[in-house]
Structure 1
Amino acid sequence: MIVNILRFAFRPGTTKERQSEVLAAMRRTASVESAEYGTVGRDLGDPAEGFSHAYCVGVADLDALERYLYDPVHLAGDDDILPYVTRLSAVRFTDDPDPAVGAGMAALVQAKLAAYPEWARQLDEAARR
């Protein structure tokens, strides 16, 4: 299993209605065929860290990760999500003992970043806000 956890906050000025729409887009993304499980909700960590919410999705393997990254629901959701989040921080881990999984995951993400430069820009901006 490959697990991706994203902690984030909403950008200042993001209305409660827009926040609900963003969370709904995340729930749709977390429920695509390639996801084994997914959830989104309030971050229960230390508020001083600046995170208000978290997103978690698990995919079975690298093949599922590739399908997840390019799923039309995921691709469409990015434009509904990334402009409204800030302090985006990722934790990724696996229970797969194969040492090549990390490099395979990184290669898939790099390929998507190269194929979708606007996505890359939005991710970078969200992480730096």
Structure 2
Amino acid sequence: MLVHMLRFRFRDETTEEQRAEVLATMRRTAAVDSVSFATVGRNLGNPAEGLTHGYCVGIADLEALERYMHDPVHLAGDPLIAPHFAELVIGPDLSDDMNPDLGAEIMAMHERKAAMYPEWAELMATIPEVRFA
């Protein structure tokens, strides 16, 4: 099982209505067939970090992750979501798969996706602050 987590803060100019739309879009993405379990909502971590919301999906294996990354629902959702992020923290992700190369394999999948969909890579680059935990 792969568990993928995002924590984020909305841009100041994002309205409450837009925030609700972003969270609904994220819930649609989290409901695709390749996802085993998911939650989208408030971040209950340290308020001093300023990260207000979170997204967590459980994905069975690398094959399911590949399907998830290229699912049309996921691809259609990102352009509706990313423009509203002021800050995005990716991870920490975790897995019960003890393959020492798992992290590198996942990163290679992301790099292939960015090469396949350059507009997606450009979209992700518009988020003012992105970091990996």
Alignment partners' CA distance in 1, 2:129 and 2:22 = 19
> For structure 1, which runs of at least 5 residues remain unmatched after alignment?
none
Give the 4+ runs in structure 1 shifted more than 6 A: none
The answer to whether the Cα contact below 8 Å between 1:40 and 1:56 also exists between their aligned partners in 2 is yes
Question: In the TM superposition, what whole-angstrom CA distance separates every residue of 1:50-100 from its partner, at most 9, and x where no partner exists?
Answer: 101000011110000000000000000001100011210011221101223
RMSD: 1.3
The aligned counterpart of 1:2 is: 2
Q: Name the residue aligned to 1:98.
A: 99
1:2 counterpart letter in structure 2: L
* Residue 127 (structure 1) shift: 5.2
| Structure 2 gap segments, 5+ residues each | none
1:45-84 matches, cutoff 5 A:
45-84=45-84
| TM-score where L is the length of structure 1 | 0.94
TM-score for both structures, normalised by structure 2: 0.91
Alpha-carbon contact 1:25-1:81 (below 8 Å) kept = yes
The count of corresponding residues between Structure 1 and Structure 2 is: 129
